[in-house]
Chain A
């Protein structure tokens, strides 16, 4: 059946027939709500991205939700210290699926200039599955916007049929690292 046959003539100009994935992903990608937390100087570039000059709200992201249970994107904006890393992972575990992580800036990607330090996690991807990396020190707001567009692209390419979020056996929670005598250790000897 074509669209001509399915839709009555008087409604032809008011109805759009599209795959479920298209509508679903359009809705998801059009209202990504990030978690409201910042870790270091990158957080200020993230805040500027929300202001009227760069206006993240144009892309359906006007809300930074204060509760992780109402968000689907975690922007790791800044240096992740070893003292803070367990709390960051715990926030991720509390987010509902589907959930995405954007590592913003050199520190969140790799530890940046503090990589060899005693208190900095060398990249949040040691503990969380990162979807988009935005390099920079810090990235400009345009850079963060571009990273978010990349995430939108990724969301639009997913299909409900094959998306891992709706399968059994998907790893919904990441193991929370614990404080050890020399640094962070994963519980039960899990390897990151």
Chain B
């Protein structure tokens, strides 16, 4: 089943969710944050998407996006890609740990590096950086470290010109 067919089935079943379909090399289903948990519950229980392989954060400078890759180990199906938008000022997305327990550390990683808060997460702490670290390193506006390299030209450089 392609993502397009999955999307059409979901859109017919949940017209009130106002789902979006994102074209591209890896087509995705755009979900509103408040509907995410209900949709995830349906995908897990009714369509056997029992494996949430990855949760990723993307910084588009004007907004954040959280991407979920879902697979089914029983039907060998997937991936179904869900995308949720979050605002730049107050990025919040509901947690899906209650549906896929494996999402726990992945959501913690997105919180640690992107600063997207997952509402309802049982233990939302930093996972890679230490407690007390300020800022979210993978955000586009995170101040870069000054690079102290100095380069000198070698004979090989001139040959390549």
Contacts and interface: CB of A to CB of B under 8 A. Distances in A.
Interface of A: 83, 115-119, 122, 179-182
Ranked 3 nearest A-B pairs via Cβ: A118-B137, A181-B134, A179-B130
B145 interface: yes
A122 B147 CA distance: 10
Contacts of B149: 115
Contact of B128 (A83, A115, A117): A83
A-side interface mostly:
loop
B133 interface: yes
A142 B5 CA distance: 56
B144 A119 contact: no
B147 A119 contact: no
B142 interface: yes
A119 B137 contact: yes
B122 interface: no
Given A122-B148, A179-B133, 16 more contacts: A83-B128, A83-B129, A115-B148, A115-B149, A116-B147, A117-B145, A118-B142, A119-B128, A179-B130, A179-B131, A180-B132, A181-B132, A181-B133, A181-B134, A182-B134, A182-B135
A179 to B, nearest CB: 4
A116 B145 CA distance: 5
Contacts of A182: 133-135
A179 B130 CA distance: 7
A68 to B, nearest CB: 23
Contacts of B148: 115, 122
17 contacts: A83-B130, A115-B148, A115-B149, A116-B144, A116-B146, A117-B145, A118-B137, A118-B142, A119-B128, A179-B130, A179-B131, A179-B133, A180-B132, A181-B132, A181-B133, A181-B134, A182-B133
